[in-house]
Structure 1
Amino acid sequence: MNAKSDRQISRRQALQCAAATSAAAAVSVSSDTVANPASETASSLIRDENAKAGATDWQLTRVRADRPGGVRSSAIEGYCSRQSVRAGESIDIMVSTDPPQEFIIEIFRSGYYGGRGARRMVQLGPFQGRTQEVPSRGERQLRECRWDPAVTLTIPDDWPSGVYLGRLTTTSDASGFGYWQNYVVFIVRDDRPADILLQCSDNTWQAYNQWPDGDSVYTHPKGNQGPWADVSFDRPYGLYPQIFENPQTFGSGEWLCFEFPLGYWLEQHGYDVTYCSNSDMLTPDRASKCKVFISNGHDEYWDIRQFQSVQQIRDAGVNLLFLSGNSVCWVSPYRKGFDGRDHRILFRGGPYGGDHRWAEQREREHGPFPHRGPDEGYLIGARNVDPVNGGGDWVCARPEHWMFEGTGMKRGDAIPGLVGWEYHGDPPSDLPGLEVVAEGTALQGGTNPQQWTATIYPGPKNNFVFNASTIWWCQDLASPPGHWLPWSHWSRPHGPDDRVQRITHNLLRRAIGSQ
């Protein structure tokens, strides 16, 4: 990092910093390489970015919850004023320390970087921290912080699109126990044409976020599935409350646990990828400039405008990869935050599913809801089934399909533990050209059998839509620093698997036209 990037910057000062000098070496790749994975016309931006030196220290080292079983770490915590931001735009970073003490903020871009997983972009501070107010529960159980910013960061023009982590670290010993750490997370987006647009599932991160004390769309006294609770992006992300207790999830949402392995793997192989948040897909404009749209990880909560945008890009010829499970399950309308910023509050407005029995069942059990979305099966290729929580093996059904080329898989061959924590099933029988490429049984709750289905169907312009039917697809692509394998209901993925890697290469190469 050069001297300009290392400078410390005081509160509310706009920032510009130069990128580090590119290293001469090309990006390293592992044994799952497929020749020429990126298209010949692709931008070299991601390859050049990942040739730069990665950080040797970017993870959280000293973290703690305030109490056993809690999700909050009040020694230092924060959030950002926007889900995503372009280069040249500004974002506020809000921080609270308890007790008041000095802290610094280090900004890292997550990626491959020779296997290190992130690059240090700038250090900010030190700042004098103070304890900021925890809001009481408002109408519809809303917790909406109104903290003062520690700093306003103007994104330098040479910061590429990606998922950025701001590591918060106390520098004084006011607590008497040494330093403490936490993250904030934000996305840098761009408008350039790219091969791949990777959508982060940050609506779902926020829906499950229980900061500060069991406050999410699932924790209302009326029950855990109704339309009663609002959640705000104006609050820190607490420790992720399900599947495992990964300390790296303090402040980082579900990025490091469910989504980072895919971004890491794409950048490892030089794919031309750019990133966006759920809120960036309210129109089709961004994705229409790309060849592939990817839904990643746990992508449960979609504003109806997202659904309409993805329909439009599919019909315009963009390929869709749902490398995700439980996707497009709940209509989640946005509204403005307390100061008029767009897309800062959401809630569970109602089920997707049209007139399908699963949507009707959800309404019978948990409704009435104010919204109803279309049948997601005609977009994804399969539906959210009920019940859906569990795990199982991913079993090949059509080994002759081109997506299995080079995997050596035969009908009935299984990839252990790949299906879970949630999945899709019940594909529409009248969707033209739909093929079931993998199928099997997951054990809901570890005991009750439920059928899942992975599918592919053709789009109208020689494109296609693939549904992997599992939140855990990217768990078998890579095992980057800062990531832990999840487990649920006595089932777990095993980590990098050359068959999953080859299937994903085959899908992407076909989608971007490099074969």
Structure 2
Amino acid sequence: MSENLKNLLDTAAPSRRGLIVAALAGTAAAMTGLSPAVAATAGTVTGGFTFQGENRRFGTPRNQLPPSRGTSGALQGFLGQLASTARQRVIDLYVSSTQKNFQVKAYRLGNYAGLGQRLVWSSPVTPAIAQAPATVDPATRTTSCNWKISLKLDTSAWPEGFYYLVLSAPVAWYSRAQGAQAHMIPLVVESASLAGKAVLVFNDLTMQAYNKWGGASLYAGANGTVPSRSLKVSFDRPYADPEVYETYNVPMIRTAESITDSRVSLGYTTEARLAGNPALLTGAAAVLFSGHSEYWTRGMRRGVESARDAGTNVVFFGANNVYWRTRTEPTALGPDRMVVCYRDPALDPLASAHPELATTRWQDAPYREPECSLTGSMYGDFRVTGTFTVTEPSFFGFQGTGVRRGTTFPGIVAGETDASNNPSQPGNLMVFSHSPSSGLYRSKDWSDGSVYTTKSGSAVINMATTNWLAAQYDPAVPARSRQFAAQVTRNIITAAAQGPIAQRYARPAV
């Protein structure tokens, strides 16, 4: 373990150590010499793309990425598009820097024999400028950047998938005295078609809700109080910290792309893309949500429900999903780049005339649609610790794990949880794990992993803990628990990728 990594882990809260390790996955593999780094500056797609073939390529050791990746005034940036799409593969990059120039490197995230990423493209060294200060809308406390385009990225030759764009000043990556000289920006190179694929969804709406760049997020304002929080947040600004991406998305990507079964085909998109294009999932075999997909628009929910009712399997590898009903609005840079969430119908100007669009919790008035009618379970608790406990060993996700009723796995249940306790949940819901837990609100509670099926033959699976994915890369979690969670994740994705799976679940559909 490097001194930098050791210091980072030693100073991190216990709940974050596994997430840091997940983001840094591959360092140990790199030290064992599993494969050398690729020194190429481009990664051209040749022939038909498969993620299995992509992951057989040489990966890039993590130590080639900068150890410091937070935002500072020295170097920061954001993208002008929500994703690289089949219609628009050229992406606008906006950068502000106190340095004279910068460089961009694009790393595709995956498994890559345990290394975790591959360098796909490098830009030339590009002149940088300090851009204009951000503006703040006093009515909604929304921060936006009216910046000039710094560079256009042609991603048409890049393999589809999830990426980090690493912005770096050519000096002092490793100099703590210079402050943060590198900045990471997540990017999805969306599949040209999602039909027939198990689709991984980047939780970008949720990330923007948590993004405090400029001082305010949907949770708190610059002074740290709830009343000063933003009522709308914009994609037209950098991410203050990529932690939410690393916590909830990276572990899913790396486990999914470790699957070698040729029957599995993965697709890639984002929450915001689904919000603006509800029919995007038409014909998808499955849609897979990461550890935390909390902010959903009405269009996004209807699109997922329509896909489910047409035979698309839905998997929630986390908890506290579909919790806040949001809207998206356009900004000067394009559609769906403003995330609206007043939370209080008395503040929302559309709540009276269009209660179905009111930005409240989905379970609340003036238009109640509890999340459990889609997810199977309701949000339970926060700051939870518990022990994953099997109650239904016949669940197909447990195949090959050797579990029995009552088998336990410590270290998996943590963070936020969902529980089966609402009359609006599907009538044929099967709880396959009923895990005792203790959280901020209740000292004795449960985390309920569940599955139900529909008349279309689709299944909806909810793992009911935000730590399900992160635990797979956390050395503080027992190896037995890590291996179990990874195997179950691969089992679920493999089954879901092959179309409606109701035949694997005996209860009648609803």
TM-score for the superposition, normalised by structure 2:
0.77
Is 1:155 the equivalent of 2:155?
Answer: yes
* Alpha-carbon separation, structure 2, partners of 1:444 and 1:152: 46
Any conservation in 1 of the 2:97–2:128 contact (CA below 8 Å)?
yes
Q: Structure 1 18/497 Cα, relative in aligned 2: closer, same or farther at 3 Å?
A: closer
Alignment of 1:29-68 (within 5 A): 45-57=50-62, 60-63=65-68
Is 1:169 the equivalent of 2:173?
Answer: no
Question: Shift of the alpha carbon at 1:403?
Answer: 2.9
* Alpha-carbon separation, structure 1, partners of 2:494 and 2:229: 41
Any conservation in 2 of the 1:202–1:278 contact (CA below 8 Å)?
yes
Hey, what does 2:353 align to over in structure 1? none
Secondary structure at the residue paired with 2:66? coil
Q: Structure 1 366/446 Cα, relative in aligned 2: closer, same or farther at 3 Å?
A: closer
Hey, what does 2:3 align to over in structure 1? none
Hey, what does 1:500 align to over in structure 2? 485
Hey, what does 1:469 align to over in structure 2? 464
Question: Shift of the alpha carbon at 1:511?
Answer: 2.4
Q: Structure 1 181/449 Cα, relative in aligned 2: closer, same or farther at 3 Å?
A: same
Any conservation in 2 of the 1:331–1:349 contact (CA below 8 Å)?
no
Alignment of 1:26-425 (within 5 A): 45-57=50-62, 60-63=65-68, 72-87=71-86, 89-98=89-98, 100-138=99-137, 139-156=139-156, 158-172=157-171, 177=178, 180-192=181-193, 193-213=195-215, 215-220=216-221, 224=226, 229-239=231-241, 249=242, 254-270=244-260, 271-282=264-275, 283-337=277-331, 339=332, 341-350=334-343, 372=367, 374-385=369-380, 387-425=381-419
Q: Structure 1 494/336 Cα, relative in aligned 2: closer, same or farther at 3 Å?
A: farther
* Alpha-carbon separation, structure 2, partners of 1:197 and 1:64: 28
Any conservation in 2 of the 1:351–1:373 contact (CA below 8 Å)?
no
* Alpha-carbon separation, structure 1, partners of 2:325 and 2:142: 18
Q: Structure 1 304/345 Cα, relative in aligned 2: closer, same or farther at 3 Å?
A: same
Any conservation in 2 of the 1:434–1:457 contact (CA below 8 Å)?
yes
Any conservation in 1 of the 2:106–2:166 contact (CA below 8 Å)?
yes
Query: Deviation digits for residues 59-83 of structure 1, max 9, x if unmatched?
Result: 6434276xxxxxx422211111122
Any conservation in 1 of the 2:38–2:59 contact (CA below 8 Å)?
no
Structure with the higher fraction of residues in helix conformation = 2
Q: Structure 1 284/228 Cα, relative in aligned 2: closer, same or farther at 3 Å?
A: closer
* Alpha-carbon separation, structure 1, partners of 2:489 and 2:227: 34
Please give the root-mean-square deviation of Cα atoms over the aligned residues, in Å: 3.4
Q: Structure 1 222/57 Cα, relative in aligned 2: closer, same or farther at 3 Å?
A: closer
Question: Shift of the alpha carbon at 1:404?
Answer: 2.2
Any conservation in 2 of the 1:218–1:225 contact (CA below 8 Å)?
no
Secondary structure at the residue paired with 1:224? coil
Identity of aligned residues (%): 22
Structure 1 unaligned blocks of 5 or more: 7-16, 23-42, 66-71, 240-248, 353-362, 486-491
Q: Structure 1 327/447 Cα, relative in aligned 2: closer, same or farther at 3 Å?
A: closer
Tell me how many residue pairs correspond in the alignment.
439
Question: Shift of the alpha carbon at 1:413?
Answer: 1.9
